[in-house]
A and B are shown apart, each in its own frame.
Chain A
Amino acid sequence: MDRSRGIGGVTVDAIIVGSGPGGSTVADILTAAGWSVVIFEKGRNHLIDLEHPYRLADDFSNDEIKFINRHFLGPDPFLEPRTFRTGPEDGDHSFVGDVNSIPSTVGGGGTHADGKVPRFREEDFGLLSTYGPQSGASVADWPLTYADLEPFYADVERRIGVTGDAAANPLAAWRSGPYPMPPGPSMYGAVLSTAAAETLGYHPYPAPGATNSVPYDGRPPCNNCGFCAFFGCPIHAKGDPVAMLQRALMTGNAEIRPETFVSRIRTDGRRATGVDFVGADGVERSMDARYVVVAGGAVETPRLLLLSGFDHPLIGRHLMVHFQTIAAGGFADLRFHAERGRAVTHLHDDALVPDDKSRKAATQAGLPWMRGGIVEHGGPGLPILEAKLYRWGPTHKENMRRSPLRDRLWAFTMQGEDLPVATNRIDLDPTVRDVRGFPVARYTYKPHQHELAASAHHGPRMAAILEAMGAEWTSVVTSPGSIEGPGGRASVDAPMSRHVMGTVRMGEDPATSVADSNGRLHQLPNVVIADSSVFVTSSGYGPTLTLAALAARFATAMVS
């Protein structure tokens, strides 16, 4: 095996595995402090020219076939499948293919998200102290508080470029300052759905968004093209990690190696010494480093730790995926044109805050408490996705023109809090391999009673808002449970949410956690986990800003 060294032929200060929002935040901070870093990314690069002056690429486009049907952002489920099962009763696995993938590309999950980046609430960091335990779940407090993380939330909001209105959400956590940018325009459907929600006592507000509303950091404002969720931004108005990666490269201290798969973290038993990797040429090499930062997301990160032979019994456990409850309503007299705008422009947080009704519902379900999640106000905008929902034959074209399942449909999606359960886990599949010959990640997952009860409570409430808005019919479905993902991707009982968390749990006690409050593995303190793997609980907010804030905290600790 070749022993390659990093930048300038010397051992690098840090190897970062993964170029998504976590790895990019770390790269931005380490390179600014003069550290040399090499970022390994197993996916392709469609984001940024890797030669000076690091121009932004022109590969992204408003193209449903490319992004939804043909895996442009990766991972290709043939090359890098995952497997799924609900439990050992399913055998080795019940499904092989695309399970809940986040893009495998330079920029990672930041490229395909529609950029909703809310902060968590104060109690999200202390669920056990605030609400108490739940039978069958490992509810615990985080080893840090909202106050500890607030400066880093503010920091990454500036790095990414986040829009919002600090006064608009009465249920939000406190903030030390305003959002870097004001909100962008409200989608037409959200104008109607927020009005209906307010009449029923809810508190909708403009979603904090990583889509520029004004020129920011040398990039233009969003022009509302609508190809947002699951698409890369053609004009780079989205706060995918491009700004952070570009800054890191501009220091001259960073190198990005796309199409390079890190297969093992090397150790001397006490500390990591570097990594083994397989490059685009298929040749396996190694590189030394003082630190190894792992930011592959909550599926690929534990997979790498397991491929490396790390043996902490909690690696991969407490997998959490937001339990999605989707209430849809049909409106014969309205056309929402949801293909215009940022996919989702409004949220409400009311389902995250227990009230008398949810406490009663929890009691009836035999639970001490329950929480839902953020409710996203949105509508479908993609015609291929719509067309596949209708039957073939003489009614097809009339359905497409009338558009009951796209243009005349409005929906709420609740990203329900998923309790940490030790048997929900990522491990290595015993038989299925990726194209490079390494065992793939296997999901073992089923929801806790809490998620089902919270969904059953909040689903009809979301439908009631749609009825107040004038819906002629409403329908509530859940994932996992009853739907397929975009392009028919997800299947069986695999969750559709791309919010994956909790497989390298953070805490102060090495017996009950894998990493410490600075993201360092208890067993190997120069291995830092900088993604949503370290989440102790899932909250009901999208994880991106919180994982970036944690990454900023961890990187700051590394350089100080």
Chain B
Amino acid sequence: MPTWLTIDEYRTLTAVCERLIPADQTPGAAEVGVPDYIDGLLGAFSFDPPRIWAGGSFSGRHGGQPGFARFHCLTALDELAWRTRIEGSLGRPEREFNGLVVGLQERYREGLAALGPDFCDCVPDEQVLRLRSLATFTQLVYDHSCEGMYGAPEYGGNRDAIAWSSIGFAGDVEPRGWTDHEVSEA
């Protein structure tokens, strides 16, 4: 179940992400969990602490304690910034000290609706045409898709670090690091 999106929105978003980063011989955005990354950002404040910043120092994938799974607590100002960024300013004066802010939730809700209720059932060429006609929204989803593909799995995407392994990238490597030989040699 998605955290913030409706089931239908989640289904459309999954189709969008897969069109932006489609599977070939390695998994595409849908299988890697990119829609969950985006839904997790939109619903970050459904969790306590909010899922904004994964913890440190290590993920546990290369030794050490798995601290990434323990998200950071936010200060009052951090919460103000991230709630405004995600929810929008909603007419609240403390969020509008430099003017109105349209939040990510509204941008996704409107963008997904504008792609049409039949987007998932369209042929790929039609999906591409619709995405191109909504260039600003498509760029937003693509930027987030890149984060969900190649960011740390603790944020909901890059399931089992599969996108990292598909491009030969080790990801976070502390506390193992790299040996001097691995740094200096081909």
Contact = CB atoms under 8 A, between A and B. Distances in A.
B167 A234 contact: no
A397 B22 contact: yes
Given A69-B147, A224-B179, A280-B75, A235 B97 contact: no
- Chain A residues touching B, majority SS: loop
B42 interface: no
Contacts of B185: 188
A187 B174 contact: no
B68 A61 contact: yes
Interface in A250-271: 259
Contact of A62 (B72, B145, B172): B172
B47 interface: no
Interface stretch (A288-296, A385-393, A522-530): A385-393
B91 interface: no
A61 B75 contact: no
Interface in A421-440: 432-435, 437
A120 B166 CA distance: 44
Given A60-B57, A62-B172, A186 B147 contact: no
B184 A186 contact: yes
Contacts of B128: 393
A357 interface: no
A403 B150 CA distance: 13
B120 interface: no
A222 B174 CA distance: 11
Interface residues of B, number: 63
Interface string B38-75: 00000000000000111111110000000110001001
Interface in B116-170: 128, 138, 142-143, 145-147, 149-152, 155, 164, 166-170
A259 B21 contact: no
Nearest to A234: B57
A383 B167 contact: yes
Interface stretch (A14-22, A71-79, A540-548): A71-79
B78 A234 contact: no
A331 to B, nearest CB: 12
A148 interface: no
Contacts of B164: 383
Interface stretch (B1-9, B79-87, B106-114): B79-87
Interface string A225-236: 111000000110
Given A78-B101, A186-B183, A383-B167, A392 B138 contact: yes
A384 B167 contact: no
A401 B168 contact: yes
A259 B77 contact: yes
Contact of A225 (B85, B145, B167, B173): B173
B55 A392 contact: no
Contacts of B85: 78
Contacts of B24: 394, 397-398
A57 B128 CA distance: 47
Interface in A265-316: 280
- Chain B residues touching A, majority SS: loop
B53 A70 contact: yes
B174 A225 contact: yes
A223 interface: yes
A188 B98 contact: no
Contacts of B19: 392-393
A387 B149 contact: yes
A340 interface: yes
A79 B81 contact: yes
A90 interface: no
B166 A401 contact: yes
Nearest to A386: B150
A60 B175 CA distance: 12
Contacts of A398: 24
Contact of B143 (A388, A394, A400, A407): A388
Contacts of B28: 397
Given A225-B178, A280-B75, A433-B98, A65 B184 contact: no
Contacts of B97: 433-435, 437
Given A340-B178, A392-B142, A393-B128, A61 B55 contact: yes
A342 to B, nearest CB: 9
Nearest to B171: A62
A358 B22 CA distance: 50
A223 B178 contact: yes
A186 B186 CA distance: 12
Contacts of B98: 81, 96, 432-433
Given A383-B169, A393-B22, A401-B166, A61 B80 contact: no
A222 B152 CA distance: 22
A58 interface: yes
A191 B54 CA distance: 35
A434 B76 CA distance: 15
Given A63-B54, A66-B53, A78-B85, A339 B169 contact: yes
Contact of A72 (B53, B57, B166): B53
B146 A387 contact: yes
B124 to A, nearest CB: 9
Given A79-B81, A388-B146, A397-B21, A224 B178 contact: yes
Given A225-B177, A234-B174, A387-B149, A70 B52 contact: yes
Contacts of A58: 55-57, 67
Interface string A64-100: 1110011110001011010000000000000010000
A61 B149 contact: no
Nearest to A232: B56
Contacts of B171: 62
Interface string A364-398: 00000000000000000001101110001110111
Contacts of A226: 173, 178
B186 A188 contact: yes
A215 interface: no
B65 to A, nearest CB: 9
A341 interface: yes
20 contacts: A58-B56, A58-B57, A70-B52, A78-B85, A188-B183, A223-B175, A225-B178, A235-B175, A337-B182, A340-B183, A341-B178, A387-B149, A393-B19, A393-B20, A394-B24, A397-B22, A397-B23, A401-B168, A434-B97, A435-B77
The 10 A-B residue pairs with the shortest CB-CB distance in the complex, in nearest-first order: A223-B177, A62-B172, A387-B146, A61-B56, A185-B180, A383-B150, A234-B57, A65-B151, A392-B20, A224-B178
